[in-house]
Amino acid sequence: MLNSFKDIVDAAMQKGITKLVVPSPEAPDMHLIAEASGAGLVFPCFVGDGGAIRNMVNQSPLAEGNYELVEENNPRHVLERTLDILLSSAGGIFMQGSLPPQAAIDALHDRDKGMLPKGGLLSFVSVFPLLKKERLILVTDTFINNHPSVAEKQHILSNALKLARILGVESPKVAVLAAIEQVNPGIPSTLDAAILSKMSERRQFGDAVVEGPLDIDCALSRAAAERKGVKSIVTGNADIYLVPEIDTGYLMAEALVFFGRMNMAGVVMGATRPVILNLPFVSPEDRLVQIAMACLLSDEGGSNG
């Protein structure tokens, strides 16, 4: 089991080099990409304005010859060329570059040239290290899906379970969060949580334990859960926290980073290739961990569940 961000990077370094395709890279990205290249994680492939990219490379630690350049001077075609490169390769990682995050997500959803399998769903998984317990926790969905249905939550959960297992959690424990720990027909998130929990009992998520609905108190404390009549191996020991909607997920991720001063790395799951977004709540030092995590996913044949 991988218990820290250092473990993730070390494991990825043992997997060999993965192609990292970046449309219209930004200058600040070059130092990060050079670090990932120097660590033996990736071989960069840049797509876009050749002159601008060469200038950025020359001002970075990235060694000459240690990258590929695909020149595309029409900005409207850069993203299309990027996806073509990835889809024509056996593996590889998509990194956002200077594109807006929503533009990247929209392109991935494109029916003809995107990287979303038929019937699949993209979701974002945030990974946090718990330093006192020396373990990792996953929170999802923290960026992409606004108000997912229970069917969409099934996909979101399956995506997170795949990542958890790649990180070495053989039997993930999942807390499905809601406002209260009781099933209440007036609160849809509690009904969704109960359905997912029953699906888990029927082994529809494989070797995993899914408990819900749980309020945050029960999810974090077994004593609090038992005081409220909830007895489960998940309480106080969850590997994955599944949030009810984007307001909860995005605010939770930001609060843990900005208020709690926790480190965070995340990756888009559900695509045929691992996808890295540049989000404001991921610190520069943790972005290398995102690349390493994407390398582990690429080795497993993509991030689709």
- Geometric angle at alpha carbon 17, from 143 and 136, rounded to 5°: 40
Domain with CATH 3.40.50.10950 in the chain: 5-116+271-299
Going by the DSSP 8-state scheme, the letter that residue 300 receives in this structure is T
Taking only the tens place, the pLDDT of each residue in 136-191 is 999 999 999 999 999 999 999 999 999 999 999 999 999 999 999 999 999 999 99
**Beta strand 209-214 pairing with 135-140:** unpaired
Q: Please determine, for residue 92, whether its predicted confidence score (pLDDT) is greater than 80.
A: yes
- pLDDT category at 41 given cuts 50, 70, 90 is very high
For position 31, what pLDDT does the model report?
A: 92
Domain with CATH 3.40.718.10 in the chain: 126-258
For position 219, what pLDDT does the model report?
A: 96
Q: Please determine, for residue 301, whether its predicted confidence score (pLDDT) is greater than 60.
A: no
Mean pLDDT of all residues in the chain?
92
pTM over 0.75: yes
Q: Which CATH architecture has domain 5-116+271-299?
A: 3-Layer(aba) Sandwich (3.40)
Residue 202 Cα distances to 21, 134, 154, 197, 213, angstroms: 40, 31, 14, 9, 17
CATH number of 126-258: 3.40.718.10
- Helices 27-38 and 287-299: crossing angle in degrees, nearest 10, is 50
| CA pair distance 156, 149, nearest whole angstrom | 10
Burial class (CB in 10 A: 0-12, 13-18, 19+), 29: buried
Taking only the tens place, the pLDDT of each residue in 186-219 is 999 999 999 999 999 999 999 999 999 999 999 9
Going by the DSSP 8-state scheme, the letter that residue 286 receives in this structure is G
Highest mean pLDDT among 102-106, 133-137, 297-301: 133-137
For position 302, what pLDDT does the model report?
A: 61
